[in-house]
Amino acid sequence: MAELEIDALVFDVLGTLVDEPAGLRAGIRELAPSLEDSGVEQLLSLWQQHIEREQRRVLDGDREYVTTEVLDDEAARLVADAAGGADDPAAVARLARSGRRLPPWPDTVAGLSALAERFPLIGLSNASRTALLELDAHAGLRWHQALSAEDARTYKPDPAVYQLAVTVSGRPPERLLMVAAHAWDLRGAQQLGLRTAYVARPVGDPPAPSDEFDLHADGLADLARQLDRCLG
């Protein structure tokens, strides 16, 4: 760890800084308030599976790039159909926007504020530009720059998305630290040469035994402490 030389931090947003499932659950409950918890979880899984599948199709070249707004609209219609609420277009539209009303984790706002005193902070999200703006405003996220995968017209973990942060920062990739709760995201950043920090979250993708990330943190305060020790 002592060899780390970091000029900027690059943060994943969905899952790492905001609780995406909680926001989607709230949207589903608004659409179908009589559903039991098990039904909400089934619809949440339907939503998540659609997003994951369609982003993978874009990455595999089986679908032209579309923004997360399009994918959220599709997922909302699927969920509404399954819940029996598809006959209310306004309710389906509200459900689609629930993916932009996501609560921050308890340590997110203070943690970003503290880290921003020492490092330039770059948000790097698969969310579209419009969705990212609303996400940031709703959750109170503090950035020096927020970047959307929409600018690369693909999705993480395509290296082109991480290249956005490298280009904007003007620094070599090995001087950027990618921070995420998803091991797959960090592996993608490693392909381009970024340093990596895994932050544990209840909804993340934990590292495999074969993963070798530079830092493992329990939260943003722990990440800040580790950076203080590593960088002095």
Task: Identify whether 46 is part of a domain.
Answer: yes
Say how many residues make up the chain: 232
Q: How many domains does the chain have?
A: 2
Task: Identify whether 2 is part of a domain.
Answer: no
- Specify whether 89 is located in the same domain as 115: no
> Which residue, 76, 100, 124, sits at the end of a domain?
100
In this predicted structure, what is the pLDDT of residue 230? 84
In this predicted structure, what is the pLDDT of residue 168? 97
Structural contact between residues 50 and 75, judged by C-beta atoms closer than 8 angstroms: yes
What is the domain-level CATH number for residue 225? 3.40.50.1000
Task: Identify whether 110 is part of a domain.
Answer: yes
- Specify whether 186 is located in the same domain as 141: yes
CA distance 187 to 193: 10
> Which residue, 45, 69, 100, sits at the end of a domain?
100
In order, the DSSP letters of 118-141 are TS-EEEEESS-HHHHHHHHHHHT-
Q: Is the pTM of this model over 0.85?
A: yes
Query: What is the residue range of 24's domain?
Result: 20-100
Q: What is the block-wise mean pLDDT of the chain (232 residues), using blocks of 10 residues?
A: 82 98 96 94 97 98 97 96 84 94 97 96 98 96 96 98 98 97 98 98 94 97 93 70
